[in-house]
Amino acid sequence: MRLKLSVNGEDVAADDVWPGESLLYMLRERLGFPGAKNACEQGECGSCTVYLDDTAVCSCLVAAPQAAGRRVRTVEGLAAGLPDEELSAIQAAFVEAGAVQCGFCTPGLLVSATDLLRRNPQPSDVEVREALAGNLCRCTGYEKILDAVRLAATRRNP
Ligand code: FES
Ligand code: FES
């Protein structure tokens, strides 16, 4: 089937979509958005987190046809509207705080942290931990990630 949707503000269409395939697969393999990562495909790791309309979701758990006619925002779109090569505040904070090691978890964490700071611009440490509890990282031990979210919370435009 052919599906039309908006990804990062642009209207796109995906062809030959199988009704049972995931939004994650469609984004990565059919639409050329490889930012969201496939680590577990079971909703356990958060590496595939994207916005569907205004809600952050695990895209491996969303059937691609559910995204028809809707707005998807991936990690590639977090800095949309900013000048070329400028990072969003949370992206810049991850770099500055050293919160990226292998980077596999990073796209999902960036979307989840962006979502947190939109809902709660000044989260407590407990609130940050709770908001990111669904995003697993095997490398950093999480402290640098917490530092990055704290740093981004001191700035505008998460
Ligand atoms: S790949 Fe979707 S939660 Fe792990
Ligand atoms: S930086 Fe490697 S999994 Fe998080």
Ligand 1 pocket test: pick from 25, 44, 111 the residue with the most ligand atoms within 8 Å of its Cβ.
Answer: 44
CA 92: distance to chain centroid?
Answer: 15
Domain boundary among 45, 75, 105: 75
The answer to whether residue 97 scores a pLDDT higher than 60 is: yes
Positive or negative: CA dihedral 91, 95, 97, 101: positive
- Say how many domains are in the chain: 2
CATH code, domain carrying 129: 1.10.150.120
- Helix axes 89-97 and 106-119, enclosed angle (nearest 10): 120
Q: Classify residue 24 as left (phi > 0), alpha (psi -120 to 50) or beta.
A: alpha
**Mean pLDDT within 118-143:** 96
**Mean pLDDT within 98-118:** 97
> If you ran DSSP here, which 8-state letter would residue 5 be given?
E
Share of the chain above pLDDT 70, in %: 98
Indicate if 51 and 10 belong to the same structural domain.
yes
**Mean pLDDT within 63-71:** 98
Nearest CA to ligand 2 atom 2: 102
pLDDT single digits (tens) 135-152: 999 999 999 999 999 999
Residues spanned by the domain of 146:
89-153
